[in-house]
Amino acid sequence: MTTKTTPPLVAPAPVPRQDTTRRNIGWGIGLLALVAVHWVAVGSTDFYVERLVAGWSNIVSFFAEAVPPDLDWDTVIRPGLDGLLTTLWIGLLGTTFSVPFAIVLAMGAARTVTSNRLVYQACRSILSFLRAVPDIVFALILVTAVGLGPFAGVMALILHNTGVMGKLWAEAVEDTDQGPQTALRTAGASRLQQLAHATVPMSLPQITGLLLYRFDVNVRSSLVLGLVGAGGIGLLINRSIKTFQFDEMFTYIIMVLILVVLVDQFSAWLRRRL
């Protein structure tokens, strides 16, 4: 017994052939331009691997002087621990003291929060300036103004971190679901009530994660700030390099590595608990 097949009501349309020639030419031109830019960059920076090979003996001599590390308690370990704690405190204060400024500027720089274009552009401009100037430049200026020490490092991190964190928080606020805020606005809630009951609670997990990330980054940045006189263990590393005490320097680097790992583990643990 044979069954009759019902012909399709609509005949399948043939798939048009795509002309990929123009797209392939575009990709080829883009790739050639990328290679040309890198070629110019390598020539301008003298980035030649043979120079590293030629200086291999100097690298070996450096590590021969750095290993084993100097583990003297009175002259190396104890000052290193004090400097390490100072570095941690600089990173902590530079992060937490920038929170009030960053949150105010972030709300002003978020389109979904600020309707006044003048306020929006002003907050964006301030964040762009603070973000564009590196923290080490702020530290150099502040060391000249207030002298050597951790205070200059904390202030430098506050200024730079306000710009970076304010920008990240503004984007986090803009990316949140606007449904609850719209519902509160429709119900007659004020702008402050919308922020307190909708915008901030919705974006709080992302804001907290970015805050912990910036704390991790600022602890590492505070090490570099010490190299320009802003206190911390970076100051000890700079002194060891200038006096050619590479075994001391290696000890301080090991201590910094331990601190970075501990801060990273603490941040990961705290994120899991939030």
Q: 2 pLDDT band (50/70/90 cuts)?
A: low
Contact 175, 112 (CB under 8 A): no
What pLDDT score does 199 carry?
Answer: 67
| Region of poorest pLDDT, from 29-33, 109-113, 142-146 | 109-113
Q: pLDDT per residue over 79-137, tens digit each?
A: 888 888 888 898 889 889 988 998 888 888 887 777 788 888 888 898 889 988 888 88
**pLDDT of the residue at 185:** 65
Mean pLDDT of 153-168: 89
Does 274 have pLDDT greater than 70? Answer: no
Predicted TM-score of the model (pTM):
0.74
**Architecture per CATH, 70-273:** Orthogonal Bundle (1.10)
Determine how many CB atoms are found less than 10 A away from the CB of residue 96. 14
Percent of the chain with pLDDT over 90: 5
- On the CB side of 10, CA atoms within 13 Å amount to 3
The pLDDT confidence band at residue 227, using thresholds 50, 70 and 90, is confident
Give the least confident one: 37-41, 78-82, 181-185.
Answer: 181-185
